[in-house]
Structure 1
Amino acid sequence: MNFAHFIREIGRGREGARDLEFAEAQQLYGAMLDGGVPDIELGAILIALRMKGEVIDEMAGFMAAANERLTTFDLPRDRLRPVVIPSYNGARKGPNLTPLLALLLQRFGVPVLIHGLIEGYGRVTTAQILRELGIMPVTSRAHANQHLKEGAVTFVPLSVISPGLAQLLTARSRLGLRNSAHSLVKMLDPFAGKGLLLAAATHPEYLELMRELLSKLGATALLLRATEGEPVANPKRRPRIEYLHDGTIDLLFDAEHESLRAMPHLPEQCDVHSTVTWMQAVLAGTVAMPAPLANQLACCLYASGYADDFNQAKAIVAVEALA
């Protein structure tokens, strides 16, 4: 493959560069995922794509290449859609509530698969919190399928489902910039489109990109603004939550533009031990669940098929929150 040709096309800056067509993007990204691009050319491609900006057809080609190589898992024998939670950021300013959402869903019998990174590089990751709770990462497809069959919250490292994307993420430490892999990993569904994806981004332009791309791919997803990059509702201010399904987009909750009148009781520190202690109190019912998290839980129960309609899902969560 002539990588210099691709670099000439995409490396002329935002104004002069040409966006790749779907087939070209799929071919190029496949080579990148397979480790077939030399380091110098790979660095040039990643920087050129970063400077040019991401576009839908190109990202769809990248996603197609990633999905062709993605390890997929068996659907649990249940009418419910498994909830897929990409967790790649962790937290450093507030508690990472992604594990709490997963455990709340497990309480209702909803299958949950989390994929992401173990090392947080100074942040508190979902994997670290789960480990404190005795939930260890799975190491293989068979291991993951067994966990899912047993109804356990399942954490799968990215290196298990997509070694190629895991390698591309490490390029950030060498180049100093994020690349398209950072966007793609947050849209991976290891159930081949049969899961309910929690899709989130911090910046509005990435939310728009995800909305358009997931719609184009026919994904079933809940789209919301991320909390420190994690796909969980900000406990102090509910984000807009959209439900993408069957080619439509339903608004389930609008964004709250003011902080809550009554601030939730949150842990004073966001380290692993403090977060786990607080989470256990919420699960035990001795500390109130933050309202935005309860709202997101209701969205998940509805979109996964646990509740027949959205009002029923909200009522179920209201009873749970008061229990």
Structure 2
Amino acid sequence: MTLAPYVAILGRGQGRARSLTMDEARAAMKIILSGEGAPEAIGAILMLLRMKGEVAEEIAGFTAAARAALPVWHGARPAVDWPSYAAGRTRGQPWFLAAARLVAQAGHPVLLHGWNSHQATGASVRVALGDVGIAQVGWDAAPAELAQSGIAYVPLEKMHPRLMDLLRLRDTFGLRSCINTVLRMLNPAIAPVALQGVFHPSYRELQRDAAALLGQPTLRVLKGGGGEFEHHPAKDMTLHGLNRGDLWEGPTGAPMTGHHRLSDTESTLSDVWNGVVQDDFATAIITSTAALALAALGVADAGCRAQTLWQSRLHPRAA
């Protein structure tokens, strides 16, 4: 198998090149993941797509092939897919992890998966998982962890090493590729609700349209903190997504006023979660993000529900 036909489609030159169809993109990604594609051709495809700008059919086709290459999921499906693939070099604490924990404590199992380039810093997503009681597990162990605790984080390299290799090509190119978007779209356990963060607003519609092609029932895409699904509580932003497969838009609301950056607070996730410090801004980030997730799940009065979950977070049975 060769990637040459797909390179030719994308690179024929001005007036002759075109985008890949969904089927062509699926076939190309299948070759890439099989290990049979020449590395030069893989680089050519990824950079030609970047220069052209990806379309929904290409992202959907790549995602479909990546899903098909994953090991079988053995267990009940999570209610929520929550990817975490932002670079995060300038972000503060990963408050969204606490929001995901609240959603799980409300009885909606959450599967987190990802990779982040800031693993050595104090704000590392993986370092912070333990601060809110989220286990980092392998793919095979994730269904049991979801059944036991309602939430789990699976590192990308334990889910599909070849996808990790493709993501790491960013170090070779010096540029991101569409693989970053594909991983956000992956929804490896086919959860009915998918929550996706983006850094650049234009990707909201791209990911929504690709999700529609993939048959995703419910989706919310947010231009969030550091590119994660994390809401700034003083900003009323537009969410893009799907409801029962239909295109949908809606406001986030803004439960706080004032001018803040997400990285302004010096509080740590552990201290805020455990009640060691009272940080109203950090708490609002967590509860407003949780409220958006709960609303996507169809929870009535999601904002009040998020507040109740927060107040009882250390004694979840009281919620």
Is TM (by shorter chain) over 0.5? Answer: yes
Query: Which aligned pairs between 1:51-90 and structure 2 lie closer than 5 A?
Result: 51-74=51-74, 76=76, 82-89=79-86, 90=88
Identity of aligned residues (%): 29
- Post-superposition offset of 1:216: 2.4
Deviations 1:129-160 (A, max 9, x none): 1145564421231x111101102430101122
Counterpart in 1 of 2:203? 206
Q: 2:273 corresponds to which residue?
A: 279
Deviation at 1:279, TM superposition (A): 3.2
State which drifts further: 226-235 or 176-185: 226-235
Indicate conservation of the 8 Å contact 2:137/2:153, yes or no. yes
Q: Which moved more, 1:153-162 or 1:129-138?
A: 129-138
Matches of 1:202 and 1:26, distance apart in 2: 25
* Count of residue correspondences: 308
**Which residue does the alignment assign to 2:100?**
102
Deviation at 1:292, TM superposition (A): 5.0
Unaligned runs of 5+ in 2: 313-319
Name the residue aligned to 1:299.
Answer: 292
Q: CA RMSD in A?
A: 3.1
Taking a change above 3 Å as real, the CA distance of residues 262 and 320 of structure 1, as seen in their structure-2 partners, is farther
Once the 2 structures are TM-superposed, how far is the Cα of residue 320 of structure 1 from its aligned partner? Answer: 4.5
1:231 alignment partner, one of 229, 232, 235: 229
Aligned match of 1:125? 124
Compared with structure 1, are the counterparts of its residues 298 and 175 closer, same or farther at alpha carbon in structure 2 (3 Å cutoff)? Answer: same
**Residue pairs, 1:183-222, within 5 angstroms:** 183-192=181-190, 194-219=191-216, 220-222=218-220
In structure 2, how many angstroms separate the alpha carbons of the residues matched to 1:278 and 1:14?
55
- Structure 1 letter corresponding to 2:273: M
Q: Which residue of 2 aligns with 1:156?
A: 154
For residue 144 of structure 1, the aligned residue among 142, 145, 166 is: 142
Mark the runs of 5 or more structure 1 residues left unpaired by the alignment: none
1:171 corresponding residue in structure 2: 169
Q: Deviations over 1:202-245 (max 9, x none)?
A: 21221110121112222121221121111111244243234522
Between 115-124 and 229-238, the greater mean CA deviation after superposition: 115-124
Tell me the residue number matched to 2:317.
Answer: none
> TM-score scaled to structure 2, two decimals?
0.83
Q: 1:243 to 1:173 in 2, by over 3 A?
A: closer
Residue 74 of structure 1 and its aligned partner are, at CA, apart by 4.5
